[in-house]
């Protein structure tokens, strides 16, 4: 009987110690690498003094992250057939096929499938979709919820068989309606070089492009990254020069991206943790290497 009491006592001590250890690890590896409300308030107030305003939430976690190596995924014949069947039907009746070449230095062979107002263009690494029956309304009143519904329906109908259904969704309001991008995810972070973007107006998706990348390997070394407050403090002069009037940052997301963003073609390249910063008035986001706090 005494032996049973002793065993129960030891088990209780063991459980309590594990709870304490778990809490200690949570504080060490999670809370200690999370921006405090004070730091968030300080950077927000500082930026507002310079007419830079943040819309929405800032990423608060800045725990160490390992880089990855990615390669572009070729659009296989099987995947091409899946998309064609989804869009034009298995019989593909009245679909015309055209082979064209562009002036690009790479990936310049295109096969174009067209039926009525729908066009689907395949190159080695990309798929482009257009629907000319949808009129672009540059005074669009498209709501965010409706745009997200259009994007979800389009994605589920055509591309969910190709892309992973677990994606990071980015929304950006445009004069014609909205630009919504689905990014594939690795380690719970979006891969900015693996995406499908959809341009949406009042009547639905009128244009989209898909280009996917696969993760070949992950570095065994995790490196510290800068917190978003340090990134914004370092970037505020560049932001002020880019937009003359009051500036609104409508989204900041951390994910993976290659450092050479102007070179679209690549075979295999390292992708580092990167802050993507969307600013109202700028057509393209700003990308900051989270390891070095340098603008790409």
Nearest to 44 by CA among 281, 256, 236: 236
Phi, then psi, of 285 in degrees rounded to 5: -70, 165
Question: Over the chain, what is the mean pLDDT?
Answer: 87
Q: What is the pTM of this model?
A: 0.85
Give the relative orientation of helices 228-242 and 37-49 as an angle to the nearest 10 degrees.
10
Please name the residue ranges forming H helices in 62-219. 77-88, 144-154
- At 97-145, the pLDDT tens digits run 999 987 766 677 889 999 999 999 999 999 999 999 999 989 899 999 9
Alpha carbon distance 122, 2 (integer Å): 76
- At 135-184, the pLDDT tens digits run 998 989 999 999 999 999 999 988 888 888 889 999 999 999 999 999 99
Do the bridges between strand 52-54 and strand 247-258 make them parallel or antiparallel, or are there none, so unpaired? Answer: parallel
The residue-averaged pLDDT of 43-70 equals 93
Alpha carbon distance 33, 228 (integer Å): 11
Alpha carbon distance 284, 281 (integer Å): 9
Which of the residue ranges 34-38, 88-92, 241-245, 278-282 would you say has the lowest mean pLDDT? Answer: 241-245
Which of the residue ranges 1-10, 122-131, 222-231 would you say has the lowest mean pLDDT? Answer: 1-10
Nearest to 129 by CA among 183, 197, 76: 197
pLDDT (0 to 100) of residue 105: 65
Nearest to 226 by CA among 45, 39, 47: 39
């Amino acid at each position: 009987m005494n032996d049973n009491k002793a065993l129960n006592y030891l088990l209780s001590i063991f459980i309590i110690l594990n709870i304490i250890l778990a809490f200690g690890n949570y504080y060490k590896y999670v809370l200690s690498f999370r921006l405090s409300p004070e730091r968030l308030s300080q950077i927000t107030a500082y930026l507002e003094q310079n007419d830079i305003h943040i819309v929405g939430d800032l990423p608060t976690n800045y725990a160490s992250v390992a880089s990855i190596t990615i390669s572009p995924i070729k659009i296989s014949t099987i995947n091409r057939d899946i998309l064609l069947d989804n869009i034009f039907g298995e019989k593909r009746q009245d679909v015309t096929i055209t082979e064209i070449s562009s002036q690009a230095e790479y990936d310049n062979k295109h096969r174009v499938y067209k039926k009525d107002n729908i066009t689907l263009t395949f190159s080695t690494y990309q798929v482009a979709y257009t629907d000319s029956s949808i009129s672009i309304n540059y005074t669009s009143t498209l709501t965010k919820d409706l745009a997200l519904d259009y994007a979800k329906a389009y994605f589920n109908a055509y591309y969910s068989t190709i892309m992973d259904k677990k994606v990071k969704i980015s929304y950006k309001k445009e004069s014609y309606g909205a630009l919504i991008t689905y990014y594939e995810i690795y380690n719970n972070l979006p891969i900015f070089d693996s995406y499908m973007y959809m341009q949406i107006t009042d009547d639905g998706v009128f244009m989209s492009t898909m280009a996917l990348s696969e993760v070949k390997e992950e570095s065994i070394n995790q490196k510290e990254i800068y917190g978003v407050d340090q990134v914004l403090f370092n970037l505020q002069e560049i932001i002020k020069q880019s937009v003359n009037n009051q500036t609104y940052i409508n989204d900041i997301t951390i994910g993976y991206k290659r450092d050479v963003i102007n070179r679209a073609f690549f075979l295999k390249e390292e992708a580092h943790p990167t802050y993507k910063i969307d600013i109202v008035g700028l057509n393209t986001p700003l990308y900051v290497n989270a390891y070095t706090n340098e603008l790409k």
